[in-house]
Amino acid sequence: MPRYDKIVILTGAGLSAESGLATFRDEDGIWARYDYRDVATPEGFERNPSLVYEFYNMRRHDGGTARPNPAHYALTHLQRKHPGEILIVTQNIDILHEAAGATNLIHMHGDMATMLCTNCDARPPWIGDLSAELACPECGLTGGLRPNVVWFGEMPYEMDRIAAAIAACDLFISIGTSGNVYPAAGFVAGARDAGAHTVELNLEPSDTASYFAERRHGKATEIVPAYVDALLKEEAR
């Protein structure tokens, strides 16, 4: 019988840092260069759509050249080898989890490989640049396309499915996130209420570190593979 039966793993920008993608709140992070109100809110998009198109075109270019790192592959290995049910909930819009072969994955803040048409609500795959002139492949209208990304003040995706998974989990692991942004930062409290063991794997203590029963700090490419190996050894005993 596996020691843990239902595992939820929350990931953030720190997981992709060693793949060369900038985090948000480190001193050289994205929010040191852009004001989130200009590029990650519906109001910002309304005010200056071309700045937002440019911001996400840049993020998509960077994401397109990045490769998964050993931490992404360790999580895929865990999903394949562990007997329990393992859901990965990522705040990241890069698609490095998919590139590493992850399954059972939710992009709660959207992703950079699709776009959203505000005219017909379609979310077609799209890895090129976005612009106001682009016509939606579904409805053919122009002027309605935006990044399929959850901005501040917008409801994250699949919250019901995430809430149910957290209420049922017996292990909650948070990797590479500063615990600043809700509702994701509140998941650990829900997991604790569900009686789950809670683990933080992060470069340094996050803003919600005190909520975690276990904390391991270091680079994701080192501490995540080590933690996955220990978990699989535990299950094999």
| Positions in the binding site for ligand BV8 (CB under 6 A) | 12-14, 17-18, 23-26, 29, 40, 91-93, 109, 149-156, 176-178, 180-183, 202-204, 206, 219-220
Strand order in the sheet with 171-175: 105-107, 85-90, 6-11, 171-175, 197-202, 214-217
Q: Give min distance, CB of 47 to ligand BV8, in A.
A: 16
Q: How far is the CB of 5 from ligand BV8 (least distance, A)?
A: 27
Task: Decide: helix, strand or coil at residue 172.
Answer: strand
Among residues 6 and 72, whose Cβ is nearest to ligand BV8?
Answer: 72
Nearest-CB residue to ligand BV8? 14
3-state SS, 35-91, equals CHHHHCCHHHHHHCHHHHHHHHHHHHHHHHHCCCCHHHHHHHHHHHHCCCEEEEEEC
Nearest approach, Cβ of residue 172 and ligand BV8 (Å): 15
Give the residue from 108, 86, 93, 106 showing the smallest Cα distance to 228: 86
Distance CA 166, CA 155 (A): 18
Least separation, in Å, of the C-beta of 185 and ligand BV8? 7
Tell the smallest beta-carbon distance from residue 106 to ligand BV8 (Å). 13
Write the secondary structure of 28-49 as one string of H (helix), E (strand) and C (coil): CCHHHHCCHHHHCCHHHHHHCH
Structure tokens at 91: 């705040």
Measured from the CB atom, the residue of 58 and 122 that comes closer to ligand BV8 is: 58
**Of 6 and 227, CB closest to ligand BV8:** 227
**Closer Cβ to ligand BV8, 37 or 140, answer by number:** 37
Give whichever of 37 and 80 is closer to ligand BV8, judged by the CB atom.
37
Name 149's bridge partners. Answer: 110
The burial class, CB within 10 Å (0-12 / 13-18 / 19+), for 233 is exposed
Q: Which residues are catalytic?
A: 109
Tell which residue, 81, 102, 72, 51, has the closest CA to residue 224. 72
